[in-house]
């Protein structure tokens, strides 16, 4: 199955609060559902058992939904939105002007900052795809193209939401 699922607001709240009383297997799968991993990738997780049953339970409970349904729902967090924090300014006013030539030092600083914050707030496995794309970004514009996805991943965590403004401003100084 090549379907891709993402957490609903209820699913994100469950990760933060444990309020739904999910079993460890359900919770572990929910943690790894990120709107990018396909069911095939989730099948590689160890000690899951019947993944289809787990996904059906999470779907029925309102913790996840298929990505293609995300865009039509008000009850979700998509990769390109930030409903748990104030909306981001438009991208053409948010960033400083691009340098005339690539500044390798600030480019590496921005890569390091983005990867370190993802590791700290989301976890290396939870954000491995995004971290990989950040590490291979060759220009400032490449990193800017990943900014909203980075921001959404960070604010999907309770600690990230608390420090959202500070983290965003620090990154914007160098990106």
Encode pLDDT of 22-69 as tens digits: 888 998 899 889 888 888 888 888 888 889 989 999 988 888 988 876
CA 170/CA 98 separation, integer angstroms: 16
- Whether 160 has a pLDDT exceeding 70, the answer reads yes
Q: For residue 87, is pLDDT > 70?
A: no
Instruction: Give pLDDT, residue 99.
Output: 82
Cβ-contact 137, 111 below 8 angstroms: yes
Which pLDDT belongs to residue 20? Answer: 79
The torsion region of residue 21 among left (phi > 0), alpha (psi -120 to 50) and beta comes to left
pLDDT of residue 112: 96
* % of the chain beyond a pLDDT of 90: 26
């Amino acid at each position: 199955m090549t379907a891709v699922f993402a957490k609903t607001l209820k699913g994100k709240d469950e990760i933060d609060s444990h309020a739904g009383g999910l079993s460890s297997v359900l919770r572990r799968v929910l943690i790894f559902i990120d709107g990018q991993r396909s069911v095939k990738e989730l099948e590689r997780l160890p000690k899951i058992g019947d993944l289809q049953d787990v996904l059906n339970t999470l779907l029925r409970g309102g913790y996840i939904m298929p990505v293609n349904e995300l865009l039509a729902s008000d009850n979700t967090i998509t990769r390109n939105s930030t409903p748990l924090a104030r909306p981001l300014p438009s991208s053409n006013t948010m960033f400083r002007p691009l340098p005339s030539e690539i500044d390798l030092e600030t480019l590496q600083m921005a890569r390091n900052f983005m990867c370190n914050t993802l590791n700290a707030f989301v976890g290396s496995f939870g954000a491995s795809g995004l971290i990989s794309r950040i590490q291979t970004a060759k220009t400032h514009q490449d990193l800017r193209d990943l900014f909203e996805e980075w921001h959404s991943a960070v604010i999907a965590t309770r600690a990230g939401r608390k420090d959202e403004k500070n983290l965003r401003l620090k990154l914007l100084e160098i990106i």
